[in-house]
Amino acid sequence: MTEKRIPQTDLDRLLARLRQRAAVYAPAEDGTGEVVLAALSGKESVTLEYRNFRLSPKALVLPQNQTLLCFKDGQAEEPRLPEGETILFGVRPCDARALLALDQVFLNGNPHDPYYARLRSGATVITLACARPMSSCFCTSVGGGPGDGTGADVLAVALAGDLLLRAETSKGEALLASLADLLSDATPAAVKEAQEQVRAAEDPMTPVKVDGSAERLRQAYDSPLWEAASRKCLGCGTCSFLCPTCHCFDITDEVRGGAGRRVRTWDCCAYPLFTLHASGHNPRPTPKERWRQRIMHKFRYAVENFDRLFCVGCGRCIRHCPASLDLRTVLKEVGA
């Protein structure tokens, strides 16, 4: 496992080099002053001062709207798949970890999803360890951590002056090798500084008990707490859209004249239409069933199917819920 370092003052040089071979996404302010994972054109000023992005990077492998087929003269054709490579710099550990959940759905199934597979195989992920978690963060409770390199090709830690870079995969090794002239070997002192920083970042997070959640949720299926917990839910779908592991989608046709496309679009199990049958029957008719489904899918069904929680503790659903619903509270209340 290669460990290298680069002075932070050389970050722009590093990113410029990466831009020669790939489309690079990195943290930069948008027009409103919010730090987003921006497609770099070279004009942006990249910053390492951010907690996490409001939007998870899942759209870069599972776009919010994606063409599945093109229609021409009433015939369906495969669209041309996007070419080229992307490098995602500055993704937080929780979001990189979430990519493995998406991989489970789109790559490890039979059949593979060719659209996801193309974007995913073209993406190289450079994770940036967290120094300061938010009050809504709970990654350490769901198997991750502020310095977790799972799902990353390279894990970066921002030290006082340097950026420490550690290869996590062979793709990451190759990337660091290609940048060798910009990098120097990591010193033991730098490695120690990184470890201490990560440990300090773990401390403020309040643990949420998820061990054995699958079994406890099985017992809690009929709990009256679901009704109480979902009473405030507006069914707006913000939680799903911001969630880095939520991946449910709709497929619709958009056609004008004889030409158009079949497109997949993010969808959400909190929406009443999600399961509505053509007959009018709805298997999950009220927010209670729909809210329960979302929690059950992440903390029970995914565990039963893939032995993996479909929650990475990023806390977006907590931070951005307009009704202040907090899945940590609900997990506690239902005894999960």
Partner 1 sequence: MARNPYLPYPARLEETIVENDAKDIKTFRLAFDDPAGAAEFQYLPGQFAELSLPGMGEAPFGIASSPTETGRLLFSVKRTGLFTAELHSIEPGARIGVRGPMGKPFPWDRVAGKDLLIIGGGFAFTTLRSAIVYILDPANRSRFGSVLAVYGARTPGELMYRADLAAWQKRDDIGVHLTVDKPDQNWTQHVGVVTAVLETLTPSARNTLAIVCGPPIMIKFTLLTLSKLGFSDDAIILSLEMRMKCGIGKCGRCNIGSKFVCTDGPVFTREELKTLPVEY
Is residue 112 a contact point for partner 1 (CB under 8 A)?
A: yes
Stretch of 52-60, 83-91, 193-201, 301-309 lying at the interface with partner 1 (CB under 8 A): 301-309
Is residue 300 a contact point for partner 1 (CB under 8 A)?
A: yes
The β-bridge partners of 302 are: none
Q: Rounded to an integer, what distance in angstroms lies between the CA atom of residue 192 and that of residue 182?
A: 22
Is residue 80 a contact point for partner 1 (CB under 8 A)?
A: no
Is residue 274 a contact point for partner 1 (CB under 8 A)?
A: yes
User: Between 213 and 242, how does the x/- string for binding to partner 1 read (CB under 8 A)?
Assistant: --------x---------------------
CB of 64 to partner 1, least distance (A): 14
Is residue 283 a contact point for partner 1 (CB under 8 A)?
A: yes
Q: Rounded to an integer, what distance in angstroms lies between the CA atom of residue 95 and that of residue 121?
A: 17
CB of 327 to partner 1, least distance (A): 18
Residue 82 DSSP SS3 = coil
Residue the block writes with tokens 């017992």: 219
Lateral strand order in the sheet of 259-266: 75-77, 65-72, 259-266, 249-256
Alpha helices in the chain (DSSP H): 11-19, 93-106, 114-121, 170-178, 188-202, 213-219, 225-230, 238-242, 287-296, 302-306, 316-319, 327-333
CB of 275 to partner 1, least distance (A): 5
Contact indicator for 125, 88 with CB cutoff of 8 Å: yes
Q: Which of 1, 184, 250, 332 binds partner 1 (CB under 8 A)?
A: 250
The two beta strands, 65-72 and 35-39, are unpaired
Stretch of 9-17, 158-166, 190-198, 275-283 lying at the interface with partner 1 (CB under 8 A): 275-283
Amino acid at 127: T
Q: How far apart are the first and last CA of the chain?
A: 37
Q: Which of 30, 34, 78, 85 binds partner 1 (CB under 8 A)?
A: 78
CB of 127 to partner 1, least distance (A): 26
Is residue 24 a contact point for partner 1 (CB under 8 A)?
A: no
Is residue 212 a contact point for partner 1 (CB under 8 A)?
A: no
Site residues for partner 1 per CB under 8 A: 68-69, 71, 74-76, 78, 105-106, 109, 111-115, 221, 247-253, 255, 258, 260, 262, 264, 267, 269, 274-279, 281, 283-284, 289, 293, 296-297, 300-301, 304-305
